[in-house]
Amino acid sequence: MNIVVAIKQVPDLVEELELNDSGTDLDREWLKFKVNEFDEHALEAALLLKDAQGAQVTVVALDNGLDIDKALYAAAAKGADRVVKVTGEFEGYVSSHAAAKALAGVISGMSPDLVLTGVQAVDDLDGQLAVLLAHELGMPHITVVTDIEVNGSTATVQKEYGGGMVGEFEVQLPVTLGIQAAAETPRYVPVAKVRRAMKSTDIEEISGDAAGAGAGFEVTKMFKPETGQGAEMLSGSADDVAARIVEIIKSKGV
Amino acid sequence: MTYVIIEHNNGKIEDISFEMLGKARAMGNGVTAVLLGSGTGDMVAQLGAADKVIVCDDPAFANFNPEAACKTASSILSGNTGDIILVGNTSMGMEIGPGLSASLGIPLVAYVTDIADGTVTSSLYGGKMSVQSAVSGGYIASVMAGAFPGDDGRVDGSPATEAATACVTSDLKVRFKQLIAPEGGDVDITQQDVLVSVGRGIQNEDNLEIVEELAQKLNAAVSCSRPIVDNKWLPKSRQVGKSGLKVKPKVYLAIGISGAPEHIEGMRDADTIIAINTDENAPIFDYADYGTTEDLFDVVPAITEKL
Ligand SMILES: Cc1cc2nc3c(=O)[nH]c(=O)nc-3n(C[C@H](O)[C@H](O)[C@H](O)COP(=O)(O)OP(=O)(O)OC[C@H]3O[C@@H](n4cnc5c(N)ncnc54)[C@H](O)[C@@H]3O)c2cc1C
Ligand SMILES: Nc1ncnc2c1ncn2[C@@H]1O[C@H](COP(=O)(O)O)[C@@H](O)[C@H]1O
């Protein structure tokens, strides 16, 4: 079984987000990036299938210049068999439509049975990737997936709705799935193991082409949302704040 | 014309559908609702905010199927590449929206919180940034739950209907098998007066002890954000938000929760929201009544002690 996992680096939201001079995008220069958390789940879902029934796991990422090598080495250290960097004009923000086209061009040559992506990323503006990618690849799609079982030429897949309801589907392979959560917490890999992977892993480079594909609209302004009323901020020491919170709770008659 | 893809569940039209219908009405270009379902009569009568309803009533839609829904919606709307199509930013809408964008070849704007005169506003980066985009021609807007008031779209009536055919052939690659209801938890977080809700700021499972102690003193239940459940520190029945439960307690304490849109969706209607988060820019403060940027590891034990 061939499983391809697409991952990307996104800004770490723990950091303060600054705008660029034209106020249309983030200033990426000082930002810290990390792998989209749902992509970590997609990789974990692939590795769980590999552990259970054997699979060749390939991780692909567009080369957006944002520390992607580190992410690919970490994937190799966790158990990916092959890591591929898709080179081309992918610096800065890449629209989901362009990413889908570029990735599809590369992934279609890998004859995958399963293509996994994270369900969404914090910087998606023109849609989540999985479904767009499925269309480019001519595959069926299911997104918001929390469980996958592969049985020969089909997979049984669980999709999450609101309120914790789950829909179960059977789908013919190959399929593209948007992963919300793997069945297990994504495995941890110690830094020493990543360092070893850096020595023993070759990152393959394949050029990608997104010509003609884009969001189809233009960002005119990015800004910190006006906060409406906003909260009354409690000041003083932690102890003062705690005392005020106790007062507030008691005043609500609970 | 503005088209609205109606979402429903168990015979009940979802709030997001009314929110989109109300917004579509306000946009002033006429409203056509698109309803895929099985036994849709009662639902059509609730869609009075639409001028017309295109109905595809077929047993194949007794349950949602991403492939059947995308193919049918694409076939119904194939000639509408110049129109605005509203779809919910929901588990179903996340299949149909991009599916339509790909098959119709028109743009998709996601996480939409407002639409005005060719400018579409979206919420990105977990609610920390807003983005305005200039869109011309037809496009699909994937609308955030709670962005528009639902009452404007909740109009009974008998709009004109047009029947559409389902695109469900025997060669569908996706087959619906079953719906699985969530396991009932030990406590029902939707029935609590006070919720002590904890997020990733708690760092590890052992630290949960401090929120449990606080909850015990308050005679309250502990609820949480998604990562806590994904880490298996608390059961799914404690999750608040889009894919968890909607709660409306008298007091909601948000502890180490950033306030991503998917979380806000589940708790924005709480009477009083108190947020404890060291990041002064955390979106949770936009929704909270009271906030503090003191460290949760200092404040939470201090509250417990004072109770
Ligand atoms: C389809 C879909 C459905 C989803 N459904 C849900 C859902 O139902 N519910 C849900 O919650 N999420 C849901 N999510 C996930 C959501 O997007 C966010 O990832 C999640 O809500 C973030 O959880 P958090 O706020 O606990 O974590 P983070 O965003 O990581 O926030 C942690 C916060 O803790 C603060 N903090 C850290 N240390 C301290 C300290 N010592 N003291 C005080 N504060 C501190 C940080 O400043 C930060 O703001 C969904 C996502 C998708 C794609
Ligand atoms: N826009 C939609 N397109 C297709 N199916 C939907 C849509 N919205 C809801 N459904 C599904 O239809 C089923 C419920 O049908 P009903 O009981 O008739 O409301 C559920 O499984 C819903 O998830």
Give the per-residue pLDDT at A228.
Answer: 56
CATH dotted code for A2-207: 3.40.50.620
Question: Number of A:B CB contacts under 8 A?
Answer: 269
Measure Cα distances from B301 to B111, B198, B204, B213, B217 in Å.
Answer: 37, 14, 16, 8, 11
Subunit contact B302:A221, Cβ cutoff 8 A: no
CA of B109 to the centre of ligand 2 (A): 23
- Per-residue pLDDT tens digits of chain A, which is 254 residues long: 999 999 999 999 988 899 999 999 999 888 899 999 999 999 999 999 999 999 999 999 999 877 899 999 999 999 999 999 999 988 878 999 999 999 999 999 999 999 999 999 999 999 999 999 999 999 999 999 999 999 999 999 999 998 889 999 999 999 999 999 999 999 999 999 999 999 999 999 999 999 989 999 999 999 998 765 689 999 999 999 999 999 999 999 88
Tokens of A168: 């179960």
Instruction: Give domain limits for chain A.
Output: 2-207
Q: Residue range B40-69: average pLDDT?
A: 95
Q: What is the pTM of this model?
A: 0.93
Q: Residue range B243-267: average pLDDT?
A: 96
Query: Closest Cα to atom 2, ligand 2: which residue?
Result: B7
B88 Cβ inside 6 Å of ligand 1:
no
Subunit contact A233:B291, Cβ cutoff 8 A: yes
Give the per-residue pLDDT at A93.
Answer: 84
Packing angle, helices A191-200 and A68-78, rounded to 10: 100
| Chain B contact present for A122, CB below 8 A | yes
CATH classification number, B189-306, choose in 3.30.465.10, 3.30.420.40, 3.40.190.10, 3.40.50.1220: 3.40.50.1220
| Closest CA of chain B from A186, distance in Å | 9
CA of B167 to the centre of ligand 2 (A): 15
Same fold, B2-163 and B189-306: yes
Ligand 1 atom with the smallest distance to the CA of A160 is 1
Q: Which of B18, B174, B156, B29 is nearest to B88 (CA)?
A: B18
Q: Residue range B58-68: average pLDDT?
A: 95
Is the separation of the CB atoms in A154 and A172 below 8 Å? yes
Subunit contact A168:B292, Cβ cutoff 8 A: no
B75 Cβ inside 6 Å of ligand 2:
no
Ligand 1 pocket: which of B195, B207, B242, B265 to mutate (most atoms within 8 A of CB): B242
Q: Which of A122, A175, A185 sits opposite B230 (nearest CB)?
A: A185
Q: Which of B7, B61, B174, B91 is nearest to A143 (CA)?
A: B91
Subunit contact B129:A225, Cβ cutoff 8 A: yes
B122 Cβ inside 6 Å of ligand 1:
no
- On the 0-12 / 13-18 / 19+ scale of CB atoms within 10 A, B1 is middle
| Chain B contact present for A16, CB below 8 A | yes
CA of A26 to the centre of ligand 2 (A): 38
Subunit contact B124:A164, Cβ cutoff 8 A: no
Give the per-residue pLDDT at A187.
Answer: 96
B86 Cβ inside 6 Å of ligand 2:
no
Instruction: Give the range among A131-145, B127-141, B155-169, B262-276 with minimum mean pLDDT.
Output: B155-169
CA of B231 to the centre of ligand 1 (A): 12
Radius of gyration of chain A (CA): 21
Is the separation of the CB atoms in B118 and B151 below 8 Å? no
Name the CATH topology of B2-163. Rossmann fold (3.40.50)
Secondary structure, 3-state, B94-150 = HHHHHHHHHHHCCCEEEEEEEEECCEEEEEEHHHCEEEEEECCCCEEEEECCCCCCC
Q: Which of B91, B103, B125 sits opposite A123 (nearest CB)?
A: B125
Q: Residue range B9-38: average pLDDT?
A: 96
pLDDT at residue B160 tops 90: yes
Instruction: Give domain limits for chain B.
Output: 2-163, 189-306
